[in-house]
A and B are shown apart, each in its own frame.
Chain A
Amino acid sequence: MGKHEEALAQELQRKGFSRRDVLRIGLRLGLGAASMGMLLAACGKTASTEPTKEADAGGAAAEPTSESIFDITAGDTGAWPKSAVAEPGDKVEISVGHTWDAVFFERQLQFDKLFMQRHPNITVKAENTPWGEYRQKYTAAAAGNAMPDVLYTQFSWAQETIRSGLYIALDDYIAKEKDFNLADFTKPSMVSYQYDGKLWGIPYDEGPGNLYYNKELFDAAGEAYPDDSWDLEKLKAVAIKLTKGEGPNKIFGLGELPSPGDSLMAPNYLFPFGAQYLSEPKEDECLINKPDAVTAMEWWEELRTKGAIPSPADLQNVAWPSFQFGKIAMTLQGSWATPPIQAGSKFKWDIAKWPKGPKAHTTFSAGSAYMITRDSKHVDAAWLYMNEYLSTAGQTYMWASTGRGSPSRLSAWPAYLGSKFAPAGAKNVEEAMSQGIGTHDIIDQPTGPRVTQAAGPIWDLVVAGQKSVKDALNEIFAAVDPIIAENRK
């Protein structure tokens, strides 16, 4: 086995990439079949740094490995809430469905280990499922009445699953806990989990899209770092200036452009120009072909014609995720991208606010929650877990002290801003939320997946240079309008 392949595989595994990710990276690095085989073989040798099979397969409670970048005791304030719900008299096991990256799943196992020490009668079985397979897996589980006790739920499918009766309402439990303090949660974080006057899930985060930037690429170009004075014209000019090189070594100024196939598109790319995709929050009118939306999308497309963002062909030869590999100068990401970037980047980087536009200063705000499922056999034990996991102490341990950020509780933000894992510009995340820049006006109605699936292929023709922006947006309107007609009822 080549030393380079083994070293690369170990590095990638240390950074939290799965074998599948490694395969994709090797592919985009342009490795030959032999090197790819060695790379995967090397991954097999270093597989001990991946989450344990037991955890993946939903076996017995898994132990955290010593490979985590986080110290198990760091961030444990000890201020765990005292619950009004009694501890189980006998030993019970609860299962919890997560979809963490490998780096953060180690932290999850650390939390679970400490929780089980505090609650010796509760065994926590963590199931970690890759993001791309998560919904399929747990939808099948729901159909078979076999969901875990506690389940991760993203904003985009929360309403659909709540209305389908998958979860239990948490209001009665919350009412029992005198120090739960619902007012501590940021307002946008609660939007997606309320229905019929009840709360069906407790959010753990809600955060804005931020501008991550590679400081070394800025330094090399003699360009000042992004700050609050930046507007989108400046972003565009700098992105074009930082773009240089060819082929696999090309540096791109910006990581991505808006696509109507993306449910988060509007706040960052349209609202700043006074345009909209769908009428929010009802999403019953498509506004994507209005003149201001066409103008905005044409404005962004100029970055593609200048080669400042990776083309589909470039994406096949730029190692993914490209920001971590130093090929992208700037990218739009939620704060949750921090742990893998923190663990995987060998260059200096930071985050800034998404720049303001000519008509508004907005960025997307999104988040996720945990719910207790209707299939839970140990609802009280599940609540004890949720109550600690999503308390100030729990959010400090999981999302604040690790630098992952955007906790849903205001009381956990100081710990995030002071975390050694948080980027120096973490205050920008907090300010984006407190100053109202982050907006939850993103596509999250049940019709959302069909809207983006209809729009994405049409936009592909713009990306391929075979259709004008205006024509494509008119076609998207024609395709999307019948889909969202059901939101008018």
Chain B
Amino acid sequence: MTNAQPTPIPTPPNGKPKIGGMARKEERSFYLFILPWIIGFLLFDAGAIIASFGISFTNWSALSAPAYVGTLNYSRLIADQVFYKAMGNSLYYGLGSVGLGTIVSFLLALLLNQNVWGMSLFRTIFYLPSVVSGIAVAILWIMILHQDFGLINSFLAWFGIKGPGWLVQPQWAMPSLILMSLWSAGGSMVIYLAGLQSVPTHLYEAAEIDGADTFQKFWTVTVPMMSPVILYNLIVGFIASIQGFVTVYVMTNGGPANATLVYGLYIYRTAFINFQMGYASALAWVLLVVIILITVVQFIVARYWVYYEGDLKS
């Protein structure tokens, strides 16, 4: 590994780095590329987000004028047992699906990073499930997890094991959903695969010269070099899974016994079944705060295990 430092950009007298023509062109391209998203966000999302913050301080059924109630909706959360249940379920689902998904998709990426014939086909096959729509996946997994005729219980029956009612018994429902979340591991697998292919081969060669075996190369080269990618997948995956809604709504609708009542579903029910828009908005904003807190913690912890190429490891 080289210790050569990049040549610093000369700082002009006004203190701002001087941008050349090429850089300006790149900057324009950047703004052009993100413009569609920004326009879409401003047109369709920003107003609703700002409005929901205001609504969270009201009692509003959507049928009549909202009444200002101050922070009542937020203080109400403290005594709401279903709030804790839904938050707990979401964290359980988030930790389970992201943890398991990270391991499985990383291992898959390692396997699919081998130089063997037909690898493109294998990569395509493993990625395909990720492009199937959420509803179709949910229906497929209802069949796979069926207590009497499902694929999993049929497989267990070969070994004389009577499989549980995956989706109908409270203690098994959430593990079933976590298991099902592996279906979309192909998405993060592709990112890991891209990361693996950018690990410089000379690092492996140097490790081999130093006498490292396969596991040592994995642990001292692959994992550190992949740690920024792992961090990205952890953060994005956790944010997505804690907001999970569609598959839960289709497969269990929060049941049985609220065992799969995830936070997104609780917000939906509060808003569109109970028509308590103010309370639902407060729930949504609390979720945002929780996600920000968890993300901040992830970044703080990342200082101790994520290695950026070019950094000097302390």
Residues on A facing B (Cβ under 8 Å): 23, 27, 30, 33, 36, 135-136, 139-140, 142-143, 160-161, 164-166, 247-248, 311-313, 316-317, 449-450, 453, 456-458, 460-461, 463-464, 466
Contact = CB atoms under 8 A, between A and B. Distances in A.
A463 B256 contact: yes
Interface residues of B, number: 28
B217 interface: no
Interface of B: 61-64, 139-140, 142-143, 146-149, 165, 167-170, 254-258, 261, 269, 272-275
A317 B256 contact: no
A453 B256 contact: no
A464 B146 contact: no
A460 B64 contact: no
A463 B169 CA distance: 9
Nearest to B276: A450
Contacts, number: 80
B63 A140 contact: no
Contact of A313 (B148, B258, B272): B148
B256 A464 contact: yes
B146 A33 contact: no
The B interface, classified by DSSP as helix, strand, loop or mixed, is: loop
A457 B255 CA distance: 7
Contact of A161 (B63, B148, B169): B63
24 contacts: A23-B139, A30-B146, A36-B139, A139-B63, A139-B272, A139-B275, A143-B62, A160-B61, A165-B64, A166-B63, A247-B149, A312-B168, A312-B256, A316-B142, A449-B273, A449-B274, A450-B274, A453-B269, A453-B273, A456-B255, A457-B255, A457-B261, A464-B169, A464-B256
Given A312-B165, A461-B256, 17 more contacts: A27-B139, A27-B143, A139-B275, A142-B63, A143-B63, A160-B63, A164-B64, A166-B63, A247-B149, A312-B256, A317-B146, A317-B148, A453-B269, A457-B255, A458-B257, A460-B256, A466-B257
A313 B165 contact: yes
A457 B257 contact: yes
B62 A313 contact: no
Nearest to B140: A33
Given A30-B149, A139-B62, A143-B63, A457 B256 contact: yes
A142 B62 contact: yes
A166 B255 CA distance: 33
A260 B261 CA distance: 18
A463 to B, nearest CB: 7
Nearest to A31: B143
A457 B258 contact: yes
A65 B8 CA distance: 76
A25 to B, nearest CB: 12
B140 A140 contact: no
A242 to B, nearest CB: 21
* Residue of B140, B143, B148, B257 contacting most chain A CB atoms (<10 Å): B257
A219 B257 CA distance: 39
B170 A461 contact: yes
A247 B149 CA distance: 9
Contacts of A316: 142, 146-147, 167-168
A463 B173 CA distance: 15
A464 B168 CA distance: 8
Contacts of B256: 312, 457, 460-461, 463-464
A83 B191 CA distance: 70
Contact of A30 (B140, B143, B147, B255): B143
A60 to B, nearest CB: 28
A317 B147 CA distance: 10
Contacts of A458: 257
A453 B146 contact: no
Nearest to A312: B168
Contacts of A460: 170, 255-258
Contacts of A23: 139
A313 B143 contact: no
